[in-house]
Each structure stands twice: as structure tokens, then as C-alpha cells.
């Protein structure tokens, strides 16, 4: 959520940023500024009134002590009327503060200046590409057929047990999945990220803190009896470890990684683009999260991007990195880099990771601050990235490394899988 002071002092910048996003309700900014002025005016009146009331209470006490009962009682009547005014001002303040908070939750983050202008994914900027796209023979298969051929993943069995989008991994498919999880975690911890295991259910405050709630699009699975939500990503519980915290500058930076299953009610169309592992309701993902001082956040983002690149380079997958345009940014993001692996059999790019910085947007919602070297309280900057999401990585491995002998496993994964060929 944008800080009120930032909105007041940078109105033109805010409006320009929202326009880059394609945000239509620009009039909300004027409403927020107006309500904030009203709020501050009432707060000033209330503070002054409370100060007068406290002074009056002291005078009443002194009058009773000195035996001037009549004067004390007269002043006490005045004090009773003052209490009613206090109540009215407090109610006005609460009402306006609630309205102001509700409006602020509707405003997305402001894009970084480097974010390209555009409205759709076609306007995203390719900033990096690596790896050679293999030339497969005419008998090459898409990953869902390879999964069936080698008995790696059973989509129909998952459909029987739960429904579409909940696959069952079997045999070498399950071992490959487990091997990738362990490999990603080992690479992340070696890079300085502390591993954590976190709950797979979160409460409303946690969902709000990282920006998934209010859940406008109904993308989160809701456990109604307990009012809890299945996590769409480990970003939510990991970042919320520090909700309502005041950190010391010596505690920063914080770098965490964790593996979780992820659950998303993503509605999809029919056809090849959502077949197999292309789009799931439950999938595994290893996440990295950073909490940084504002001046260090962009360098941290670059290091996260380089880290994901290094993993994909080791796996030998052809991939590219896109800087998302304003219209394609997530609600909470200030700057996002998408990683896409090339699906040779499908002849298209598949998103496998997003690395984002949120500036202070999440921290404002989380009430997550730190004391700088001068002792001043400031909002931290938060960042997160997939390192990595497994389904499309597996899809890329199966399709790109298929041969007539079987599917070759990258050397870096062999110690984790215990085999170098699926046949």
C-alpha cells in the first residue's frame, strides 16, 4: 500500500505511474488526498481537545483539594460536555480513517521508472536470452505425452482423486520432482538464503500483508469454517514472518528460502496452452524472499535475477528474461522480471519464474519497519522470486532433453535423482 505521505508529496508521480499501469480510477487519488486532509484536521482538533480536557481534569482535582467544591462541580459539568465532543471527534476520525484505508487498498503499486510502457504481455521487454534451442526430430512429443509414455505423471488419476489440475507424480517422475526441490534449496542456501518451513494455510492478515487479499479475483482457496486460505506461494507465509515487526538495521538484509506446495484457483481456457503441466491448481515451488534497506533493494533484485540465471544455466535449459511492462505488472509489484523456458515440443515460451521488488508497498501493509543508523523508523523494501516453480521446469526438461534412447537428465541433477536417463 502506498504511504499517505508519499501520495501527498508526489501526486504527479503517482498519477503518472498509475497511467503507465493502465489504472483507470485516477480520481481515487484526489479522494485519498482530500480524506487525508480531513483526517489530519480532525486529528489536530482531537489532540488539542484532549490536551484541554486533561488540563481541565487537573484543575478539577486541584479545586476539590483546595475545598472549592462549587467551582470544581461547575468545571466538572463542562468536562462532561467536553467528553461528548471527544466522542464525536473520535467517531468522525474512525469513520474517515476507515474510508481512507479502504480507498488505499484499491491503489496498486507505482511502477519503477525503468518499467516499459505497454498494456499486454506483447509489450514486455526481452532483456536477456541464453541457451540453445535443441532441434528435435519429427517424432518429438509434448511433455504430457512423454509423462504418459514413461509413466512419470498421471493426470487422469489426479482428476479422479481431486479434479483437473492436481497431477499424481509416479516413479522416476516423483524422484525427479523431489530431486529438483532439494537441488533448488541447496543452491539457495549456498547463496546465503536461510531455509524455513512454513504453514501452508494463512489467515486474512497474512493474505492482506503481501497483497493477495482482498482477493478480488477469487484466486485463493478458502477454508470457510476456519477463515483460512491455502497459500498461492511461499512468499505469503515467509514474508509474514516479520509482519508487525520493528527490525534493527543490523538484522538487515534478511534472505530466506522455502519449499511449499502452492494452490491457485486459476481459471483457464481449454486447449494445449493449459494441458499437462502448463497450468495447475496445485504445484510445488521453491521461493526466495529478501527484506532490505531501501537503498540496497535494487542491487538485491539484480542479485536475485543473477541467481535464477545461474540455476537455469546449470540445468542447460534455453530461457529468456523479460522486464514486464506497466500493464502486465502484478498489483503489488514495482518491477518484475519474468523467466521463460522454451518448450521445444510446444514451440512456445513458458513462464517458470518471476522475480520482483515491491519497494515499501508490502511493508506498509505488513507494518514492517526498521530503525536506520540515525534511529529513524522507516519501511523496509521487500522482494521475492521463484527459484524455481517446478511444473514448467519439468515440462522443459522432458521436452528439451528427449532423445530416441529416452530423456536425459542434466548432470547437476543426477546426484539428486540417482539416475541419468528416463527410459
Q: Based on the domain organization, do 89 and 126 belong to the same domain?
A: no
| 34 domain-assigned | yes
Predicted confidence at residue 270, as pLDDT, reads 46
Q: Based on the domain organization, do 69 and 196 belong to the same domain?
A: no
Where is pLDDT greater, at 333 or 137? 333
Q: Based on the domain organization, do 30 and 176 belong to the same domain?
A: no
Contacts of 49 (CB under 8 A, 6+ apart): 82, 85, 86, 89
**Rounded mean pLDDT of the chain?**
93
Q: Based on the domain organization, do 249 and 285 belong to the same domain?
A: yes
Q: Based on the domain organization, do 204 and 63 belong to the same domain?
A: no
Model confidence pLDDT, tens digit, residues 155-173: 999 999 999 999 999 999 9
Work out the pLDDT band at 269, boundaries 50, 70, 90: very low
Q: How far apart are CA 228 and CA 206, in angstroms?
A: 10
Q: How far apart are CA 287 and CA 306, in angstroms?
A: 15
* Range of lowest pLDDT (23-32, 53-62, 134-143, 333-342): 53-62
Q: What are phi and psi of 352, to 5 degrees?
A: -125, -10
Q: Based on the domain organization, do 94 and 158 belong to the same domain?
A: no
Model confidence pLDDT, tens digit, residues 408-422: 999 999 999 999 999
| 153 domain-assigned | yes
The count of domains in the chain is 2
Of the candidates 385, 408, 399, 411, the one whose C-alpha atom is nearest the C-alpha of residue 321 is 385
| 316 domain-assigned | yes
| 310 domain-assigned | yes
Work out the pLDDT band at 267, boundaries 50, 70, 90: low
| 416 domain-assigned | yes
Model confidence pLDDT, tens digit, residues 7-56: 999 999 999 999 999 999 999 999 999 999 999 999 998 888 777 777 77
Q: Based on the domain organization, do 181 and 60 belong to the same domain?
A: no
- Show which of 104, 137, 167 is a domain's final residue: 104
| 112 domain-assigned | no
Model confidence pLDDT, tens digit, residues 290-327: 999 999 999 999 999 999 999 999 999 999 999 999 99
Q: How far apart are CA 46 and CA 93, in angstroms?
A: 9
Q: Based on the domain organization, do 262 and 355 belong to the same domain?
A: yes
| 109 domain-assigned | no
* Cβ 300 vs Cβ 383: under 8 Å: yes
- Show which of 72, 104, 136 is a domain's final residue: 104
Task: Return the CATH number at 250.
Answer: 3.30.930.10
Of the candidates 110, 93, 101, the one whose C-alpha atom is nearest the C-alpha of residue 32 is 101
Count of CB atoms within 10 A of residue 385's CB? Answer: 25
Task: Tell me the C-alpha to C-alpha distance, in Å, between residue 156 and each of 160, 176, 396.
Answer: 6, 20, 21
| 110 domain-assigned | no
Q: Based on the domain organization, do 236 and 363 belong to the same domain?
A: yes
Work out the pLDDT band at 273, boundaries 50, 70, 90: low
Task: Return the CATH number at 68.
Answer: 1.10.287.40
Model confidence pLDDT, tens digit, residues 218-266: 889 999 999 999 999 999 999 999 999 999 999 999 999 999 999 998 7
- Show which of 51, 78, 104 is a domain's final residue: 104
- pLDDT(80) > 80: no
Q: Domain span at residue 15?
A: 4-104
Predicted confidence at residue 59, as pLDDT, reads 73
Q: What is the pTM of this model?
A: 0.91
Q: What percent of the chain has pLDDT over 90?
A: 81
Predicted confidence at residue 252, as pLDDT, reads 98
Q: Based on the domain organization, do 35 and 125 belong to the same domain?
A: no
Q: Based on the domain organization, do 88 and 135 belong to the same domain?
A: no
Q: Based on the domain organization, do 97 and 214 belong to the same domain?
A: no
Amino acid at each position: 500500500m502506498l504511504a499517505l505521505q508519499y501520495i501527498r508529496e508526489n501526486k504527479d508521480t503517482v498519477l503518472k505511474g498509475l497511467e503507465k499501469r493502465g489504472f483507470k480510477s485516477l480520481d481515487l487519488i484526489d479522494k485519498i488526498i482530500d480524506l487525508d486532509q480531513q483526517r489530519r484536521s480532525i486529528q489536530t482538533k482531537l489532540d488539542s481537545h484532549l490536551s484541554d480536557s486533561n488540563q481541565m481534569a487537573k484543575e478539577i482535582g486541584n479545586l476539590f483539594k483546595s475545598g472549592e467544591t462549587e467551582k470544581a462541580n461547575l468545571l466538572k459539568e463542562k468536562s462532561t460536555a467536553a467528553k461528548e465532543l471527544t466522542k464525536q471527534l473520535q467517531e468522525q476520525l474512525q469513520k474517515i480513517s476507515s474510508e481512507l484505508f479502504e480507498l488505499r487498498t484499491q491503489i496498486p503499486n507505482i511502477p519503477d521508472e525503468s518499467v516499459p510502457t505497454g498494456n499486454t504481455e506483447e509489450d514486455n521487454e526481452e532483456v536477456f536470452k541464453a541457451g540453445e534451442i535443441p532441434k528435435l526430430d519429427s517424432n518429438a512429443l509434448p511433455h504430457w505425452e512423454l509423462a504418459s509414455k514413461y509413466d512419470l505423471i498421471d493426470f487422469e488419476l489426479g482428476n479422479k482423486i481431486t479434479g483437473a489440475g492436481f497431477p499424481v507424480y509416479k516413479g522416476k517422475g516423483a524422484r525427479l520432482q523431489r530431486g529438483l526441490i532439494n537441488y533448488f534449496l541447496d543452491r539457495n542456501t549456498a547463496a546465503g538464503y536461510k531455509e524455513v518451513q512454513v504453514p501452508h494455510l494463512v489467515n486474512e492478515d497474512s493474505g492482506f500483508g503481501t497483497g493477495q487479499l482482498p482477493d478480488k479475483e477469487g484466486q485463493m482457496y478458502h477454508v470457510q469454517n476456519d477463515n483460512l486460505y491455502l497459500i498461492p506461494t511461499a512468499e505469503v507465509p515467509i514474508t509474514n514472518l516479520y509482519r508487525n515487526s520493528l527490525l534493527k538495521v543490523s538484522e538487515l538484509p534478511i534472505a530466506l528460502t522455502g519449499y511449499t506446495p502452492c494452490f491457485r484457483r486459476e481459471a483457464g481456457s481449454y486447449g494445449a496452452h493449459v494441458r499437462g503441466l502448463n497450468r495447475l491448481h496445485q504445484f510445488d515451488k521453491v521461493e526466495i524472499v529478501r527484506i532490505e534497506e531501501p537503498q540496497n533493494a535494487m542491487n538485491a533484485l539484480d542479485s536475485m535475477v543473477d541467481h535464477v540465471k545461474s540455476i537455469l544455466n546449470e540445468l542447460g535449459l534455453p530461457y529468456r528474461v523479460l522486464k514486464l511492462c506497466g500493464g502486465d505488472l502484478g498489483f503489488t509489484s514495482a518491477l518484475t522480471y519474468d523467466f521463460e523456458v522454451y518448450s521445444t515440443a510446444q514451440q512456445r515460451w513458458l513462464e517458470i519464474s518471476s522475480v520482483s521488488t515491491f519497494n515499501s508497498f508490502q511493508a506498509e501493509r505488513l507494518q514492517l519497519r526498521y530503525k536506520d543508523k540515525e534511529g529513524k523508523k522507516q519501511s523496509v523494501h521487500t522482494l521475492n522470486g521463484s527459484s524455481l516453480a517446478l511444473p514448467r521446469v519439468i515440462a522443459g526438461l522432458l521436452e528439451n532433453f528427449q532423445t530416441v534412447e529416452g530423456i536425459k537428465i542434466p548432470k547437476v541433477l543426477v546426484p539428486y535423482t540417482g539416475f541419468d536417463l528416463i527410459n
